[in-house]
Amino acid sequence: MKYSAINWNRMEDDFTKIFWDQNVRQFWVDEEIPLTDDKLDYIALSDEEKYTYERVLGGLTLLDTQQGDIGIPLMSKAINNPHQKSVLSFMGAMEHMHAKSYSSIFSTLCSMDRIDEIFVWIESNDYVQKKANIITKSYESINNKQTLVEAMATSVFLESFLFYSGFFYPLFLSGQGKLMNSGEIINLIIRDEAVHGVYVGILAQQLFSELSMKQQETVYKNIINTLNKLFDNETRYTNDLYSTLNLQDQVHTFIQYNADKAMMNLGFNPYFNVDESKVNPIIINGLRTDTKNHDFFSTKGNGYIKSTKVESLKDTDFDF
């Protein structure tokens, strides 16, 4: 057996180098974003708002932990292309950065006792646990090309759909000028997840096209089945988290909108057919990270001033 080294001068596909570059350009570190200004906003929140904000970030922490620990390594192990493995590993490191950044927010806003309560809640909430279970099972079932495509679809659901039930609340608050610095971290994470969802989606589409018609039918059916299972659970999760604030209906619409995006990242038709006009404009506006990253002089939504060249993701970055 011969061991081969990665050669970046001989690429095996025509898109992975673009994604490597994009991931590197977007690199950021949570500690470089000042968060202390959010403290006063947090204190002014009602008990219900504080509770929801903390649980929402707790749920997001679990998803990032899983994606970094289990999802990305298992997908990477199952593919052979060395450059694709590199991009996945880079993305995996960022998942750990995301997970850590929520802890930075917690340590700025909450007492140690409150932080401990969040992590106890993560382990005791049935919906969060069920979601983690569905995702982990999908990754652990990888044993051939079909199950790899299915796991990659689950991964895209995580990146492009499931995160958004959590992103909703920080976007909702920062859209009203509250907790803007934490909102900046959320924006950086959203920018990363957008690239992750597109990249894993492309890998899944390539493998899917190599399957026979019959295999494709089965795989598609399994993917839709997973989507429905995750959506059903996500509906219960958002009812549980958001109904005290009466935001659950808005969140349902928003996650359907994002589930459609996930389906499109996988090269499939939208499933729920919820377009942008149905989503609260505050949230849609908050998703647009492009207007903030170049303005280093404003204090609004601009905590991040690392000297690495920061460029927003454009649709044209993904024209091949």
Which CB sits closer to Mn ion, 101 or 174?
101
Q: Looking at 75-83, 95-103, 127-135, 229-237, which segment touches Mn ion (CB under 5 A)?
A: 95-103
- Residue with smaller CB distance to Mn ion, 97 or 241: 97
Of 4-12, 88-96, 142-150, 255-263: span binding Mn ion (CB under 5 A): 88-96
- Burial level of 100, CB count in 10 A (0-12/13-18/19+)? middle
CB closer to Mn ion, 99 vs 241:
99
| Among 226, 283, 224, 223, residue whose Cα is nearest residue 249 | 283
Nearer to Mn ion, 87 or 146 (CB): 87
Q: Is 257 a catalytic residue?
A: no
Burial of residue 2, with CB atoms counted within 10 A of its CB: 0-12 exposed, 13-18 middle, 19 or more buried: exposed
> Which positions from 190 through 229 interact with Mn ion, judged by CB under 5 A?
193, 196
Select from 87-95, 114-122, 176-184, 293-301 the region that touches Mn ion (CB under 5 A). Answer: 87-95
Q: How far is CA 120 from CA 50, 115, 142, in A?
A: 16, 9, 30
Alpha carbon distance 233, 246 (integer Å): 19
Residue number, 159 or 234, with CB nearest to Mn ion: 159
For residues 92 and 171, give the distance between their C-alpha atoms in angstroms, rounded to a whole number: 24
Look at the block and give the residue holding tokens 């659950």: 248
Q: Which residue has the tokens 């499939």?
A: 268
Among 98, 252, 261, 292, binds Mn ion (CB under 5 A): 98
Chain centroid to Cα 257, Å, comes to: 14
Q: Given the complex with Mn ion, which of 41 and 85 has the nearer CB atom?
A: 85
> In angstroms, what is the minimal distance from the CB of 157 to Mn ion?
12
Q: Does position 55 bind Mn ion by CB under 5 A?
A: no
Nearest distance from C-beta of residue 167 to Mn ion, angstroms: 11
**Calpha distance 228→108 (Å, rounded):** 37
CB of 48 to Mn ion, least distance (A): 27
Contacts with Mn ion by CB under 5 A: the residue count is 6
Q: Is residue 232 within 8 Å of residue 132, measured between CB atoms?
A: no
Cα torsion at 28, 30, 36, 41 (round to 10°)? 90
Binding mask 7-46 for Mn ion (x = CB under 5 A): ----------------------------------------
* Shortest distance, position 90 Cβ to Mn ion, whole Å: 11
CB of 241 to Mn ion, least distance (A): 19
Give 54 or 159: the residue with its C-beta nearer to Mn ion: 159
- Out of 95, 150, 234, 260, the only residue in the binding site for Mn ion (CB under 5 A) is 95
Residue with token string 């903390």:
54
> Which residue matches tokens 């403290």?
39
* Other C-beta atoms lying within 10 Å of the C-beta of residue 45: 16
Query: Of 53, 102, 139, 199, which one is the catalytic site residue?
Result: 102
Closest CA to 276 of 286, 266, 289: 286
Rounded to the nearest angstrom, the gap between the alpha carbon of residue 249 and the centroid of all alpha carbons in its chain is 21
Is 261 one of the binding residues for Mn ion (CB under 5 A)? no
Least distance from Mn ion to the Cβ atom of residue 61, Å: 10
64 counts as binding Mn ion under rule CB under 5 A: yes
Quote the DSSP letter at residue 318. G
Q: How far is the CB of 213 from Mn ion (least distance, A)?
A: 31
131 alpha carbon, distance to own chain's centre: 14
Residues catalogued as catalytic: 102
Per CB under 5 A, residues contacting Mn ion are 64, 95, 98, 159, 193, 196
